Each structure stands twice: as C-alpha cells, then as structure tokens.
Amino acid sequence: MKFLAITLIVHDGQKSPRDRLREVVDNAVFAEELGFDGFGVGERHERPFISSSPPVVLSHIAARTRTIRLFTAVTTLSLLDPVRAYEDYATLDNLSDGRLELIVGKGNGAAQAQLFHVTADDQWDRNREGYELFTRLWREDKVTWSGRFRPSLTDAEVLPRPLQRPIRIWHGSATSKASVELAAQYGDPLFSANVTNPVEPYEELARHYRERLAFHGHDPATALVGAGSAGLYVAERSQDAIEAYRPVFEARRRYGPAVFSSLEDAIERGSTLVGSPQQIIDKVLRYHGRLGHEVMHVQADADGLTDKQHRASLELFQSEVTPVLRREIPSRPFPAPVVPA
C-alpha cells in the first residue's frame, strides 16, 4: 500500500494566510522525512479554504523536497480553462523532476461555482470537456480541438512540454458515478473520497468502476483505486487516542451533517482512523477487503490537535502501521523522479 498526506488548506483565521501556507509547506517536508509516498493539496475557491492555487503551493513544496510525489486533491477542471491548467501543471512537472500526479474532479460549492459561472446543469459537461482537452494537451505536441466552453484550437502548440508523457491522472469522486464513468472510459485510476459516509456507498462506487472498466474494454484486474480517510490519531493505547481525538470530532460535528452518532460510531462504521496501531491496521485491512484500494490518504494538518499530538501520531503511524500495511497489501510502484542529466 502507498500513503499520501493531503490538505485542503482550511483557514480558520487563527493564523495569517502567510503563516498557514508556510505551515502547509513545512508539513509536506515533514511528510517526506517520515516516508510518505505523496503529498496532496486540494483546490477550493471559497471559505474556509485558501487553496485556490495548488500549482503555486505545490511548486514551493517541490523546491523544498526531493522524492515525495506531488498530488492535486482535486484539480477542479469544471471551473478551469484546461489550456491554462495544462500550462501551470506542465511547468510544475518540469520543476519537480516529474513528481506530479493529478486527481481531477468537478469540485463543489455554490460560492466557487458563482465565481466561475458554472451551474449544476453544465458542471459535469464542463468537467468531461476539460478533461478531454487537458489530457490531449499533455499527450500531443499540437492539438486541433473544438468544444462548448472555450474557444477552439487549430494546430495549437502549448508550452512548456511536460517532463512526464503521459502524466497519470486520477479521477476523484465522493459518490458520483459520473466521475467513475470518465475514469473507466479512459482506463484511468479512481480515487474515492471515502470520508463522509460509512463504507457501503464507496464500496458500490469501486464495484461500479470495475464493472465499467470491463464495459469499456479494460481489464478490471488492472484497476487502480485510492481511498481517503476521515481523520487520523494513533496512540499506543486506544483509550488515549479516543480521549485526545474526541474534541476534534465534536467540533467537526457542529459544521456538518451528523452521519455518525458519536466518535465510537465513526470509528466503527466510518473511515475515521483513531486507536492503537493494531486497531488502525485491522481497520485499513477491513476497508481494503471492501474497496480493493492500493493507495490511501490521511490528513496532513493537525486539524484541531496540537502540533505535538499530530506529529507524534504521524510518527507512530509511519513507524508501526505503514510497514505492516505495505507488506500485507501489495501495490504497484509510483513513478520515480526523473534524475537530471
């Protein structure tokens, strides 16, 4: 199994934007030091997030790191001009020595949709069209293309050319089968959010993805699936982990739907990873049995924990949990960074 640390760069106002963004970069450096395989930065264009420019943040992370893969989580192609998005990420791919991976999706949120004049009626069409042009730009030196949502291209050369040809593009999905269909059609990997609900809808999503891969002529055995987690806190004693994490869980419940009745319920039925190392191992293995995923993400931010608690939890996770899961769940290797000549 491979492991990512991700952030949506939530900004609660307790720190300046400058300090919060620098904290994200420091967390990425720490993730590389611990041995995480990847670090992901989300994209949101509304409160309480300040993650409106992932390529800028990831470029700074690229300059501070050497080996860790750099992920977007997700690139909201329904909102973006795919030509401009390509230029940003092809530049980042070169600067990072080919460490970039993209997770694309339509995004969500009424405020950001208004910023970009995207509607519920056209968001999926925009996402599909944006992806189709974006992936052609990555693969072809010159592109002739026409669509609904941006001016047409005729024998267009878009620079710089990327280092990775092609780049691996994942399709992120909460519970929507529209993203699954696009991933299956192109034979791309799927990343399930796996955060808000119990496992059942995500299991159905992964099953549907494999069925649609076969429908589109791809071997379901080649399916590459990633999955998220709703929260992480590892301690040597499960009681200590639950006691430390309970205030975080209760604070979250005030700002979202009460899917789970208690922290214990979220640990039992959801993807929240709180407990001893062995409990976390057992939980991930159970989820793997339902989803068949090779890659998972945990939160890169302290998210209500103290920095000391968060770092101790990540250190314990990497020292006692990930070695077992890497051994028990085979996973295909990520591309290695390109070594400059």
Mean pLDDT of 234-252: 96
Closest listed residue to residue 164, CA positions, set 226, 224, 102, 223: 102
pLDDT at 181 over 90: yes
Q: For a pLDDT cut of 90, what percent of the chain falls above it? A: 91
pLDDT (0 to 100) of residue 87: 98
Name the region of 202 (left: φ>0; alpha: ψ -120 to 50; beta: rest): alpha
- The rounded mean pLDDT for the chain is 95
pLDDT at 177 over 70: yes
pLDDT at 261 over 80: yes
Q: Angle CA(274)–CA(277)–CA(281) in degrees, nearest 5?
A: 90
pLDDT at 256 over 70: no
How many Å is the maximal CA-CA distance in the chain?
63
CA distance 107 to 311: 30
Q: For the segment 81-104, what is each residue's pLDDT rounded down to a tens digit?
A: 999 999 999 999 999 999 999 999
Strands 295-299, 2-7: pairing kind: parallel
Note the pTM of the prediction, 2 decimals. Answer: 0.97
CATH number of 2-232+278-302+323-328: 3.20.20.30
3-state SS string for the chain: CEEEEEECCECCCCCCHHHHHHHHHHHHHHHHHHCCCEEEECCCCCCCECCCCHHHHHHHHHHHCCCCEEEECCEECCCCCHHHHHHHHHHHHHHCCCCEEEEEECCCCHHHHHHHCCCCCCHHHHHHHHHHHHHHHHHCCCEEECCCCCCCEEEECCCCCCCCCCCCEEEEECCCHHHHHHHHHHCCCEEECCCCCCHHHHHHHHHHHHHHHHHCCCCHHHCCEEECCCCEEECCCHHHHHHHHHHHHHHHHCCCCCCCCCHHHHHHHCCCEEECHHHHHHHHHHHHHHHCCCEEEEECCCCCCCHHHHHHHHHHHHHHHHHHHHHHCCCCCCCCCCCCC
Name the region of 39 (left: φ>0; alpha: ψ -120 to 50; beta: rest): beta
End-to-end CA distance of the chain: 31
Per-domain residue ranges of the chain: 2-232+278-302+323-328
pLDDT (0 to 100) of residue 337: 86
- CA–centroid distance for 307 within its chain: 22
pLDDT (0 to 100) of residue 20: 98
- Number of Cβ within a 10 Å radius of residue 102: 27
- CA–centroid distance for 92 within its chain: 17
